[in-house]
Chains A and B, each alone.
Chain A
Amino acid sequence: MKAWIAFWNILMKDMRNYYLKPPNITWGLIFPISWTLMFFLKSQTPGDVRDLLPGAMGMAVLFGTTSMLAVTITFERRSRSFERLLLAPVGTNLLMLAKTAGAILFGLFNAAAPVLLALFMTNLGGIAWLQVIAGVFLIAVTSTFLGLMIAVSVSEVFEAQTFSNFFRFPMVFLCGLFIPLQSLPSFLRPLSYLAPLTYGVDILKSAVNHNGHIPLAVSFAALLGFSLLLFAISAINVKRRWIY
């Protein structure tokens, strides 16, 4: 019970301190909206908008979560306030879950922006919304843990942002958003299956347009696997680098 009081208060503190700050709310809306608008306005038909929706949601979540974690973790580490958490009688894993829970919620919020825009531009009937929510949630979890892994590996916010781009941009190009996986050169295709976003976008494609090509069970299992792996790497890094 005491650990959960700590968990809840770390989450609430981060929400107030970072995620609910007006600049971050604005940024969390403006970024996915402008990105989505850019795609949607270029599309010719309402059907195109629907085709682009899974990718737009995936990108919004990926960029939103990784960027915010780079700030919340790295900044607190640099100001040494993160030490307060490490010195508290709370297990490291629960502590990291508390620090990432805010980013996961922020990711869900980011994903809502493209959906709201698409509502005005196309018919969203026939979408498997439960599957969308599950897919978005898992993309948010894996992206957050990817951001966590990056944030605990570097010392400065700018390093975290730069390092994030090494993962984010290749994932965006390889996940099937711009080029369908089947059309990728054969030497690149294995790489796309190493990117968690590929499975997340495929879950959303199958929920929105029923045109995913990876079996749903495989995609969910892959995202869960990536989440566990990234979290484990982060936990090892925290215990090795931060508790020196």
Chain B
Amino acid sequence: MKVVIKKATILCAQSQYHLQQKDILIVNGIIEKIAANIPVDKKLKVIEGKNLHASIGWMDVFADFADPGFEYKEDLNSGMQAAAAGGYTDVMLMPNTQPTISNKGQVEYIINQTKNKAVQVHVIGAISKNCEGTTLAEMYDMQASGAIAFSDGKKSIQQSGLLLKALQYVKSFNGTIIQQPIDESLTQHGLMNEGVISTQLGMQGKIDVAEYLVIHRDIELLRYTESKLHITGVSTAKGIDLIRKAKKEKLNITCSVSAYHLLLTDEALTKYDSTYKVNPPLRTDKDRKALLEAVADGTIDCIASHHTPHEWDAKHVEFAYAQYGMMTLETTLHQLLSIPNSKISIAQWITLLTNNPRKIFGLAEKNIAVNEAACLTIFSTLETNNYTDANKKSKGINSPFLNSTLQGKIIATINNGQLTMNN
């Protein structure tokens, strides 16, 4: 593989070429040269385009590839292709498969199936057996087999006692607990955010208290256990404020939000469109703006895709019966670029997609420098991309952006010596 990327603005804070426009030559997966102008010859694959950017490969911390068990929604291959198409070189998978990823064998299955691919898959092991929230799963053994962190994924740990033990248990191997904060007893009959819109639509609501109550509890459990906690899917103004305060107190807490919670609000639901049925639900504009502020002030560490692909039948039923979730991996760039009145620069977004997640989950820092292994995402913020049923890579159908022209385009990713070009 011999590739040259022409005239790309390098977005990589730790690189000496940060914010500079350069040509990058990659030979056999290694960055061989970075210079103002690298001559092109016939043996070179040339990547060029208007407004090209190159960052280190993006990393997602919370995606569902539905494999094993729900391969009709997604499988490891289609998931990795979707990730690459969305600009990702690294993806962390939640354990809510069938069976769940709650023992060594399941961790090894995922790792073996995804070895040496263009997208590096990382496994999140379950905190509790079968993600049932009652007894601890074999986290130590899963860690030894390669699990990167622990979570019950879409299921929030309800029992305070169990979460306390989990936070304590992972300390011996420096593990990280990931929690999606939802008090189910307060939300079980709700279908969307409780607010003016849900009242107008006659739909039962999920109250925001259900989120920040759990965040508050989890912070106190973290304080007591002195462990490591990552909260994902924060959706409320009050919730993110609690995390901001906990960070000021130097607790070992980090958090991520989905791009769609930064872009959309509960007003998207006025036509009962189940594409927008997600959990935690789309909140009010006030919440959305609070999340954006939290991105700006560094409270939010990462963008988590919460990629949840579904087949047609799962969504084309009455709203109450439709399954939760949105497929998002292929549209992250578009979502971030479409946020109205965003003051966040593309370089800031890139930090949330590259350095921060690697740091939080203990992966080696990457760099854009000569002699480094190339782990790159090459994209344009100006070019557009037709995202259609025909060219999507995920098996899912549940994206509100499907069959439309999207702002921003992922041109290619390079990882593990492999170039993945997007058409």
Q: Do A and B bind each other?
A: no
Q: Which residues of A contact B (CB under 8 A)?
A: none
Residues of B bordering A, CB below 8 Å: none
